[in-house]
Structure 1
C-alpha cells in the first residue's frame, strides 16, 4: 500500500466498481487557496497540487462577477467573499486545472461539487443554464453529467463527474443531484446520498461534537450494505466571528480524531471532505486512498504483459504497431511511450 502512486491511485482499481464504493479524499472550498481573509481561506495549495497529491473531490462555490453582471462569467467565492484579495479567480481557470490534470492522468476521475454562493442573486435555474451552455457544452467530452446516475469508475475515467448542488429546469436535468440536505445537518440520508455537514461551530466547545459526527459517518459508510449510496463526510466547520473557529484552527483540532476515525474503519470511507488537506505531508489523504482494495492479481498480470511487450519490441521491430495496439487496449495508453511509438505508426 505504501508504494501506491498517489497521482494515479485510481489506475489500480477495476473499471466496474461504482464511485459510491470508493474511499475518496476531497477538499472543501478547494479554490480558496489564495491570500485572503483567514476566515475565508480553506486550503494552502492550488487545485492542481491537490489533484497531484490524490484529492479526487473538488468543491467550488460560484457567483456572477460584480465586474460583469451582464455576462455569463462565473467567479469563485466563499460565501459572500472573494477567495483572493489580489484578483478575481474565474471558474474557467479552475476548470482548466482539472482538465489539464485529467488529460495527463486519464485513469483518474474528479468528482466536482458546484454550488451558487455570493451576494449577486441568480434566479433558480440561472446557474444551471450558465454552467451548461458556457462551460459544459464546449467541453462535453470532459464531463459525466448523466442525470441521477452514479457512474462506475470505468465510465468516469478521464472525466469530471458533476455533483450538482443547484436546481435544474425540468427541460434539462443533468448531473448527480445533491441539493436536498438541510443546512448544518449532522446526518441526512436517502437511498442515493448520505451527508454529514455540520458546518457551524459557534464556539470551540462544539469541536468534539463535530469530530464525533465525522466518526459516526465514517462507521456508517464502512458498514452500509447499499452499494449505490454515496456517503459524503464534511470534516469542515467554522465561525466567521470567532477567530478560534476559523477553518485552519478547526481543521487542526479535528485532525487527530479524523485520522483515528479513518484508521478504525475497515470498509469504504466514502468521500471525506477536508480543509488544509496537505497537513502532515498529505498523510490523511494517503490513509483514505489506501482504504481502497487493490486487485494485486491484475497488477501482476499487467507487469507480466508489459515485460512481454517490451521483449517483443526489442526482438520484432516490424510488429511494433500491433504491440502498441495491445498496450492501448490491454494495459495503459501511457505505455506506448516506452516502446517508442506515436500516432504516425498507425498510418496506412
Structure 2
C-alpha cells in the first residue's frame, strides 16, 4: 500500500480478502478433538475455507478478514466459528486482534479491514453480555490506538494506514445507554440479504454511502445440476458483480464487496468449499475452480476498480492476489 497515495479512497482500491479466515487450521483431527463441545459434525472439509495462517495471509497481500464469532465454551471469552464448527475453544478474539496490532506495528503503511459477523447456531446466544464484551474489546484504550474511530465512513488510505477498519456485520442493540460510542461501517445484518446476488445496503444515510454486496453462497439445486454447472453458476454471479464494480459510470464512489466462496450442499456432496475454489476431477473430467477462472478473467481487468474480493484457498492459485491488487490505481479524488 506504500505505492498508493494517501488521498486514495478505500472504496477505490482493490482489496483481496479471505472468507472465514479463522478456518485455516480446522482439520479432521481438530474436529474430532472438539466433539465433546459440538457433538458429531459432518466432514471437516465442509467448514474449512483457508489453509494459511493469518500472519501468512497478511504477508501474502490479504488485507480484508472475514471473522465469525460467538461465545467460546464456558461463555467467558469470545472465539471463532464457522456454522456449527467451533474452530479453537481457547483462542480469544483479543489474541487474533493482538496479532493484527503487532503486524501493523511492523507495517505502518498498510491498512487492514476486519469484518466481524456473529455466527448463530443452536445453543448460542447473541445476548447483551456478548455485545458488551465485544464492545469492551473494540473500545479499550489499546484498541483505540489501532482501530479507525470514525463511524459510518470509509476514509482515505492515509487515514487508515497502520490501523484496522471495522466492517460491522452485527448490532449493538442490547448495549446499555451509557455506552454510546460506536466505530466502523455498520453493515446492518437485518438488511444484508441472505444468499444475495446484488444487495444494496445503505450504511450512511446522511451522505448516501451504500455497500453493493454479492454474497451468493448457496447454489440452488437444479434437475440438470452437476459440479461443473454449479461452479459455472457461481462464477457467473461473481463476474456480473465484479463487472459492475469495474464500471466507472456505475456507483464509482461506493463500496463493492464480492464473495467468491460457495457453501456445501447435500445435492452435490463433492462440492465442499475447496472444490468450488480449486475445481475437481470426476470421471476423468477436470472441472476448473472459481480461483483459476477468476485469475483468467482478471487479466482483462487490470487497472480497474474491483473493491473487496473475498476468497477461499486464495494461495492455491499463484498470482490471484496480485491480479486482484493490479497495477497502481491513480486516486480519483
TM-score, length-scaled by structure 2: 0.78
Deviations 1:146-176 (A, max 9, x none): 2111111011000000000001238443210
Change in CA separation of 1:212 and 1:178 when aligned onto 2, cut-off 3 Å: same
Rounded to whole Å, the distance in 2 between the matches of 1:50 and 1:136 is: 25
1:189 deviates by: 2.0
**Counterpart secondary structure, 1:161:** strand
Pairing 1:305-344 to 2, within 5 Å after superposition = none
Partner in structure 2 of residue 338 of structure 1: none
**Which of these residues, 226, 242, 249, is aligned with residue 275 of structure 2?**
249
Rounded to whole Å, the distance in 2 between the matches of 1:94 and 1:240 is: 30
**Counterpart secondary structure, 1:244:** coil
1:234 deviates by: 0.1
1:64 deviates by: 0.3
The question of whether the paired residues in 1 share the 8 Å contact of 2:23 and 2:82 is answered with: yes
Rounded to whole Å, the distance in 1 between the matches of 2:231 and 2:83 is: 21
**Which of these residues, 236, 257, 272, is aligned with residue 212 of structure 1?**
236
Higher share of residues assigned helix: 1
Partner in structure 2 of residue 130 of structure 1: 133
Change in CA separation of 1:209 and 1:126 when aligned onto 2, cut-off 3 Å: farther
Cα-Cα RMSD: 2.0
Partner in structure 2 of residue 197 of structure 1: 215
Rounded to whole Å, the distance in 2 between the matches of 1:157 and 1:173 is: 20
Change in CA separation of 1:127 and 1:147 when aligned onto 2, cut-off 3 Å: farther
TM-score, length-scaled by structure 1: 0.75
1:57 deviates by: 0.3
Partner in structure 2 of residue 34 of structure 1: 25
**Stretch moving more, 201-210 or 185-194:** 201-210
1:228 deviates by: 3.3
Partner in structure 1 of residue 37 of structure 2: none
**Counterpart secondary structure, 2:310:** strand
**Counterpart secondary structure, 1:76:** strand
What is the total number of aligned residue pairs between the two structures? Answer: 280
1:97 deviates by: 2.0
Question: Any unmatched runs of 5+ in structure 1?
Answer: 1-9, 296-348
1:128 deviates by: 4.0
Larger radius of gyration: 1
Rounded to whole Å, the distance in 2 between the matches of 1:94 and 1:16 is: 29
**Counterpart secondary structure, 1:233:** strand
**Which of these residues, 53, 60, 66, is aligned with residue 53 of structure 1?**
60
**Counterpart secondary structure, 1:115:** strand
Partner in structure 1 of residue 282 of structure 2: none
**Counterpart secondary structure, 1:278:** helix
